Amino acid sequence: MKKSSRIAFVIVAALCVAVLGAVFVSRQWSAPVIPKDWTTNEPTVKDDDVVQVPETIDPVLEVASDSGNIVVTSPLTNAVIGMPLVIRGRARVFESAFNYKLLDEDGSVLVEGNAMSGASDMGVFGSFVVTTSYDAPSGTSGTLQVFDYSAKDGAMIDLASVPVRFSSVVSMTVKTFWSQSFETTACAAVTPSERRIPKTLAVAHAALTELLGGTNTPESMQGLTSSIPDGVTIKSLTITDGVAMVEFSHALETGGACRVAAIRAQIESTLKQFPTVTSVIISTEGNTPEESLQP
């Protein structure tokens, strides 16, 4: 009796498997075929579609004149420039002197000047770094030109032209005050130079920061120089009732009566350009005003 029950169970199980298999095959053959252009929730791209990829420009490491005598390594092509403008490169030009211009998209000259490369001898390349501020541009694009003038007819030669873009900057103008490198009799004589800087409420601090950074290339080419040592930083600056009290790092300390007079003149003149400042008290870190900047 038990044996016949097992045989019946096996027969029933086999029939069930056969029925399920038949149903599966039937569904596979009768399933609808989705056309290739059927709209589904997934994005589709036809074989003849052209996928638009944003154009990218590989950065150009350097821009050279046709002659190869002037090479600009910074800024890069289509780089966004800020303030100040810093130009780096190398040049092989007569007497190591070359020229530069920055134009906006209207062709207006924002700044122009000349500079020297560090060539060790005639006919060899010398590296250069030019640092300069520039006037507010019209538009967002411009052109940097680094070139030489022909000694024969004054024509522009050895031109390296770099397209640039201007960063969006709300700016203002401040004055910095410098000594004349050829002046030997008036230690405290200073000459002002205007600089365009990003607009700020801390305008006195910004002007001093520009002063501590030293002369830019146009100022140096005009014979201006700074008596302030390199590496000096502002520790604190307060203006109260017309009195500007400024403390510098100890690096400001230096010897020589004439140089000390020149340092004081540069700092005081730079701060007194602002109507809120009528007098200046200078100190260095760790020293009282009376102990600071002694000859």
User: What end-to-end distance do the CA atoms of the chain give, in Å?
Assistant: 126
The pLDDT confidence band at residue 23, using thresholds 50, 70 and 90, is very low
Per-residue pLDDT, 45:
37
Report the alpha-carbon distance of residue 70 to residue 100 in Å, rounded. Answer: 11
* 52-77: average pLDDT: 76
Q: Which residue has the tokens 């029939």?
A: 15
Structural Rg of the chain based on CA atoms: 36
Residue 93 lies in a domain: yes
* 203-232: average pLDDT: 94
Mean confidence (pLDDT) of the chain: 84
Inter-residue contact 107 to 145 (CB < 8 Å):
no
Whether 223 and 255 map to the same domain: the answer is yes
Whether 156 and 114 map to the same domain: the answer is yes
75: CATH: 2.60.40.1220
Residue 179 one-letter amino acid: S
Q: What angle do CA 70, 74, 80 make, to 5 degrees?
A: 135
Phi/psi of residue 82, each to 5°?
-115, -150
Domain limits at 217?
171-284
b/e string for 213-242 if b means 16 or more Cβ within 10 A?
bbbbbbbbbeebbbbbeeebebeebebeee
Phi/psi of residue 281, each to 5°?
-115, 120
Please report how the helices 257-272 and 203-212 are oriented relative to each other, as an axis angle in degrees rounded to 10.
Answer: 150
pLDDT of 12 > 80? The answer is no
Whether 175 and 279 map to the same domain: the answer is yes
Per-residue pLDDT, 272:
98
The pLDDT confidence band at residue 118, using thresholds 50, 70 and 90, is very high
Whether 201 and 160 map to the same domain: the answer is no
Tokens representing residue 159 in the block: 């031109």
Whole-model pTM? Answer: 0.70
In percent, the amount of the chain with pLDDT more than 90 equals 71
* 97-110: average pLDDT: 96
